[in-house]
Structure 1
């Protein structure tokens, strides 16, 4: 192609630019052949100016890639390249803005966001959102202009919002990929997987199931056994995590479809996926030895794949999330909690590692503007000095000192605000369980009940808790309460509220819920608690239950009345045999 197009002898600005781009692309290549092209003349600003006048979008994409490729070569692949690429790409963005071309500006911005991901993830998100509207759409015809297209931007934003624990935004961007893609797009199945995953993070299991069925149709139309297996397995996890046996016929049907797919085909693509599936099947069939072997194989396979992966930390994070969900389904909440903690720690480590690369020039906007103003002042000073010989060094020094004092005061104010905020948050939480305190809950309910929404309140009491304390000791009793709290937190929504009302009593506020929905959740909680029989502080095996009194608030705002009625219902549940929910009939 190089010979046919006579690129080597093209003396136009475009020809010189693209010879440099092609040569730079593989300049440091040692294992594979380099592009057979030779640079005959230097690359000058005049060449870029001519391309910018001719085609602003191509200019923006070509120069962005050239900046990136040169830095990768100069820094031998090290992320420290951002000290060179970020300032250069920011200057390119300003150049693109000067052309008045929105697509050219968006292209420069998306390349800048890619490098900012290593330096300042929050700024990277801002740049991607900034560029999103005018980015080129995905096309079968590849070019420099659409190398980073709108679907790529949506995918980056989806991943970023999941890491920041904003699954609703992650779902939005995953669905945007689906809506903007054609049926033959290879990214479609991954986008469906990500959208279902985001709904699971929000405990939106009904919507997740509906989307999984839609995704399955797409995967079947693409005639890909691997993609079909991925979506079916995702659907199975939705059924197992979200419905707890209530969809037994659909679970069996999904299992049959999964078993009909040749597992060798799946193993050839991803051994971890096949071992994870085997773990769920073994758990469903209650085959303990097979389950332990499958989980062990999954962990080993995951560790083996990390050695050759360029995205080691991302794969570790995904692995911990899958193990947390698996152990939660099995009912081993201690291990589920352990892997959930590791998942959160790895997320913190990933973002901390990114921010370590951050340079103050990337994030300190005030200092940058002050410095820009100072340089402008210097230009004026030079002009004045030529005229009357005056010097303003002392004034510049005063400006710098003033800026430093202001910066220190801002940092001190932020530190004091953060300290007070942390202190307030600690005061609102029960020290043992992490649930809200009674005082914090009641204050919150006063505001919530004024909204006049449909809502329910339940008062829960752990059955025979005194006997547990007497027989196994207070340490085990504390473990029962913390485990109970964790089970509740994992099931209720973020809009719901949980508090430790006193001793072994807990209060749950179900926002925007009717009595039927709230009772179903309470029954699920009792079922989940009954499956917990192993305790870390005793070798004895025993299960626990709770009784609860559930009240449909129905516009009532008097908290004393509500709590009194819940208490009466709770004791009715105790009298009727415990491990049940008592409520007034609707």
Structure 2
């Protein structure tokens, strides 16, 4: 290769030199760049091997950006425009695979700056990407399996678990060209995770059974442990009848695995499994010890990782799940809040890197339309003999481009509108979300109108969940919400404040009127004794803390006082309203 004067040899010498440019502590490949890398070299490779051209140039752009910006995410301001130009070049070759290769590399860089555009680019490239193979080459370095895996992770972060499940299933059902089972094992894990997020426990259990069958082809202890731990999660989170015995069986299988040779890779999973099983046994001391060990192991991986924020997010999500399994809903909620805060910070930081040129697609399309119009004008001046049909075709093309731009703008507006509406509503009950309610209250309280706020909590909700299951618990919450909606006025507001807690804003109401409505709601709820998801009959009540706002505009103060009144109602026997004397 050192003496190869052909374009391919020159390109690969520069690729290897760029790849090792910043390697100060490791041996470098003994190659020397004798001549500059010119556009003619790229053009020759593009003509002969368009797919290799797209892969080689994409990697060259990426490696240069990493070196020039010393690994900083700010490299995207260089790499993204360059990769977009490469994508257009690949399109001109007429090769679908070359275009797909350029697009997947572009998507990889966009994940740092604009995850939404990254998803679009991956979906665009996916049908024509090369298949996964252990025989690595530049062309298949980013394969269709990797694309499905990226989409799986992206949709989970955007909290679209149904799409994450779809892409996990695609990996499971794909036929790889080697015996590497880890890709499929991880796909099973993420598919089950997607189902757990949607509370589809029966489907998750069925998928877990398939994953256990897959273990017959697996030799890796790490993969087996991963599969068994995921099964333990399904059993514990479902909490079906006799789940303690099932959990014990899975834990026995986990403890039979010999992890001594892969201890460093498996200790995190082992600690997690110990904590989860301790929650099943109600062994608080063992639970706290295992949970702390799990936390310390995960935190120790952060300093040397290139994915620090993702590790922190995963830790907070799993801590929330573990505390939920142990019945400590207060701490589960705290970690859930931390997870949401970290996710907001991560996404905010990502989009800070997004140059406006990345997202101004309409301007680019208009520029492209103008460019094409100029080309048509030049052709018309050079060829005076253009027929009427050709003139009509040009007009049609231009009109079609404008129509597409209008449709695109309308689609973007509708998508944003739908997204905003979904973000304001709780997915289970249809009540306002906590954030939407607080934003609405800030405006309402400035009007200095007579109004009341009540914080409600379903009595003994944990016992309902434990005795009848989460599906019945969800039915209780949705029924409770519907009863409230049917009684309050349109000017009043209802939100699911968190878990089994709800917040009601009574507009233009005094404390006596609000208390009368709350008593009526408690009576209506207590009459509901039949539930569609269980044959057993039981009634439900709630406690509430009611406060006459009386001109107060500080939301934190109002919520705190409502919370104190709610706990007073709980102490005094539940199924009642506690309020300050008028």
Alignment of 1:571-586 (within 5 A): none
Shift of residue 423, structure 1, vs aligned partner? 12
Within 1, Cα distance between the matches of 2:205 and 2:103? 37
Tell me which residue corresponds to 2:93. 99
- Greater mean alpha carbon deviation, residues 139-148 or residues 372-381: 372-381
Q: Alpha-carbon deviation of 1:433? A: 12
Out of 242-251 and 162-171, give the one that drifted further.
242-251
The one-character-per-residue Cα deviations of 1:429-467 (angstroms, maximum 9, x if unpaired) are 4799999xxxxxxxxxxxxxxxxxxxxxxxxxxxxxxxx
Query: Which range moved further: 327-336 or 284-293?
Result: 284-293
Q: CA deviation at 1:63?
A: 0.7
- Once residues 208 and 68 of structure 2 are traced to their aligned partners in structure 1, the CA distance between those partners, rounded to angstroms, is 46
Aligned to 2:534: 519
1:278 is matched with which residue: 274, 281, 304? 274
- Aligned partner of 1:499 in structure 2 is 481
Map 1:418-433 → 2, pairs under 5 A: 429=431
Q: Does 1:22 align with 2:16?
A: yes
Local SS of the residue matching 1:518:
coil
**Stretch deviating more after TM superposition (288-297 or 66-75):** 288-297
1:175 alignment partner, SS class: helix
Is the Cα–Cα contact under 8 Å of residues 276 and 295 in structure 1 kept in the other structure?
yes
1:290 aligns with 2:286: yes
Separation of aligned partners in 2, 1:351 and 1:82: 16
Per the alignment, do residues 43 and 232 of structure 1 end up closer, same or farther by CA in structure 2, a change over 3 Å counting? same
C-alpha change, 1:250 and 1:486, in structure 2 (3 Å) is closer
Deviation at 1:157, TM superposition (A): 0.1
**What is the SS of the residue equivalent to 2:140?**
coil
1:139 aligns with 2:141: no
Q: 1:492 Cα shift?
A: 3.4
1:53 aligns with 2:35: no
Aligned length: 462
Pick from 100, 103, 117 the counterpart of residue 109 of structure 1.
103
Tell me, what secondary structure is at the counterpart of 2:483? strand
Cross-structure match for 2:309: 313
Q: Which residue of 1 aligns with 2:445?
A: none
CA distance 1:276–1:245, shift in 2 (3 Å) = farther
Match in the other structure for 2:384: none
Following TM superposition, by how much is the alpha carbon of 1:293 offset from its aligned partner in structure 2, in angstroms? 1.7
Query: Is the 2:17–2:32 contact (alpha carbons within 8 Å) kept by the matching residues of 1?
Result: yes
Shift of 1:345: 2.1
Does 2:158 match 1:176?
A: no
Alignment-derived partner of residue 242 in structure 1: 238
Sort the Cα spacing of 1:63 and 1:324 in 2 relative to 1 into closer, same or farther, 3 A. same
Q: CA deviation at 1:377?
A: 8.6
Find the residue that maps to 2:112 and give its secondary structure: helix
User: Structure 1 pair 163/256, CA: closer, same or farther in 2 (3 Å)?
Assistant: same
- Pick from 293, 296, 299: which aligns with 1:300? 296
- Residue of structure 2 equivalent to 1:258: 254
- For 1:147 and 1:420, the matched residues in 2 are separated by 38
Q: Could you tell which deviates more after superposition, 109-118 or 70-79?
A: 70-79
2:534 aligns to what SS in structure 1? helix
Deviation at 1:76, TM superposition (A): 1.4
Change (3 A) 1:229 1:21: same
**Contact preservation (8 Å) 2:317, 2:335:** yes
User: Structure 1's 47 and 507: CA in aligned 2 closer, same or farther, altered over 3 A?
Assistant: farther
Q: 1:579 — aligned with what? A: none
Secondary structure at the aligned position of 2:2 is classed as: helix
**Distance in 2 (alpha carbons) for counterparts of 1:475 and 1:85:** 53
- Deviation, 1:376, is 7.8
Deviation at 1:80, TM superposition (A): 1.2
Asked if the contact 2:461–2:473 (Cα under 8 Å) also holds between the matched residues in 1, the reply is no
Provide the secondary structure at the position in 1 that maps to 2:321.
Answer: helix
Return the alpha-carbon distance in structure 1 between the equivalents of residues 61 and 337 of structure 2.
40
1:50-89 equivalences under 5 Å are 50-89=44-83
- CA 93–432 in structure 1, closer or farther in 2 if over 3 Å, else same: closer
Shift of 1:339: 1.3
TM-aligned CA deviation for residue 237 of structure 1: 1.0
Distance 2:423 2:435 in 1: 17
Q: Aligned pair in 2 of structure 1 residues 259, 522: CA closer, same or farther (>3 Å)?
A: farther
Instruction: Give the gaps of 5 or more residues in structure 1.
Output: 1-6, 384-405, 436-473, 509-514, 530-534, 547-586
State the alpha-carbon separation in 2 of the partners of residues 218 and 85 from structure 1: 40
- Matched residue SS, 1:147: coil
CA separation of 1:271 and 1:424: change in aligned 2, threshold 3 A: closer
Residue equivalent to 1:35: 29
The 3-state SS of whatever aligns with 1:40 is coil
Q: Is the 8 A contact 1:226 1:265 kept in 2?
A: no
Distance in 1 (CA, whole Å) between partners of 2:436 and 2:197 is 20
2:21 alignment partner, SS class: coil
Question: Does the residue aligned with 2:481 lie in a helix, a strand or coil?
Answer: strand
How far residue 302 of structure 1 moved from its aligned partner, in angstroms, is 2.0
Check the 8 A contact 1:476/1:538 in 2, yes or no.
Answer: no
Which residue in the other structure is 2:227 paired with? 231
Residue 367 of structure 1 pairs with residue 363 of structure 2: yes
Distance 1:153 1:222 in 2: 23
Let me know the Cα RMSD of the aligned residues. 4.3
Using the TM superposition, name which of 364-373 and 48-57 deviates more. 364-373
Distance in 1 (alpha carbons) for counterparts of 2:123 and 2:190: 19
